[in-house]
Amino acid sequence: MSSATASLAERVKSFAQELGFELVGIAPAKLLPEAEYYPPWLHEGYAGEMAYLQRQLPARLDPRKILPDAASVIVAGVIYHTDSPMTSEINDPRRGWISRYAWGDDYHDFIKDRLEKLDGFIREQAGENYRSRFYTDTGPVLDRVFARHAGLGWFGKNTNLINQRLGSWFFIGEIITNVILPVDQPPPDRCGTCRACLDACPTDAFVAPYVLDAQRCISYLTIELRGSIPEDVRPQMGAHVFGCDVCQDVCPWNRQAAVTSEPAFAPRPGNLAPNLVELAELDAEEFRQRFKSSPIKRAKRRGLLRNTLVAMGNSKNPDFLPVIEKILERSAKGSTDEDAMLREHARWAKEQLLKSAPQTVERSWPET
């Protein structure tokens, strides 16, 4: 590797940090060993209804199927972990839980803008023969595999990427390019004998260490699944209405995780421990306005209402019964606002509240 190439890599990393990427590294653009586990994982059905994960499978395994002369993959990470909220809010039985990554603005647009600037910088440095593709959780790329080989972190037993210095609360994006750059080395697995994430999972979604069955994962159930949530896992979902976080909350590497000051990731009003009644009463237009440019829009109003009903049923709080009754009444009148799937979840939530006594809901909070 020439000194000029090494110098370019350093300039790229320096500019990435100027743009606000806390993590940046370079991986080889080739078929990497971890990719061999992906097809069997799909074959076992662990992806659930996420059919898009099976599309363009050759490209997902080898970036040279995306860019034939690809030589390097530049991977950059952005911290999204914000300051700890007030425990009085997160333990309020009238409120739900939204995953940290969705508290603020949609990260796709935020990171895409930074990647575009980084890509432009490299183009200026590399010259007219430069070619590239860049993605942030949107392209047929095994993001975490390249992030590991770029030195950003190791795979935790919860399948998240963990950085020894910063923790696991970060987004990643990558630029696949034909420029040959010196690559970084993957860090060793530092999970050791720890099982905190595996043991804490509310729905037992881990088939084994490092193997996630998405069909039982709360994030999948509340975001990706479009139909009915299996009844056997509903009681374990607690107050989660969009995403989870538990397996990261309990991770020892997140006890002193890095905290961002980026305004885009700060909690929007109502996104931190949202009021469940307010969520249940949002009409279609209110949903669009409240979650405009937010990751939460991915669940759609129907999905968020379904999740909210499950959270109400798990709350042991009979004060939710009038709201649930209203949803059932609208359904009885033939309103197109509600459908059979939502009616079923509303009936389930009502049954749970009628047979349960009130109880306090507590959520632990890691040290920061």
Indicate the helix (H) or strand (E) that contains 12: helix 3-19
Rg (CA), the chain: 22
As given in the structure block, the two tokens for residue 126 are 């590399």
Give the list of residues 6+ apart from residue 213 with CB closer than 8 angstroms, or none: 44, 46, 205, 206, 207
Cα–Cα distance, 15 to 310 (Å, whole number): 46
Show the tokens assigned to 38: 């992906």
Q: Which of 62, 119, 137, 337 is catalytic?
A: 137
Helices and strands, number each (H, E), in the chain: 14, 10
Answer for the pair 352, 314: CB distance below 8 angstroms, yes or no: yes
Asked if residue 211 lies in contact with residue 292, where contact means CB atoms within 8 angstroms, the answer is no
Element (H, E) at 355: none
Specify the amino acid at residue 294. Answer: S
| 62 dihedral zone (left: phi>0; alpha: psi -120 to 50; beta) | beta
Residue pair 305/342 in contact (Cβ under 8 Å)? The answer is: yes
Q: Residue 60 CB: number of other CB atoms within 10 A?
A: 22
- Show the tokens assigned to 170: 């970060």
Burial class (CB in 10 A: 0-12, 13-18, 19+), 362: exposed
Burial annotation 159-173 (CB, 10 A radius, 16+ → b, else e): bbbbbeebbbbbbbb
Residue 137 annotated to the active site: yes
Catalytic positions, written as ranges: 137
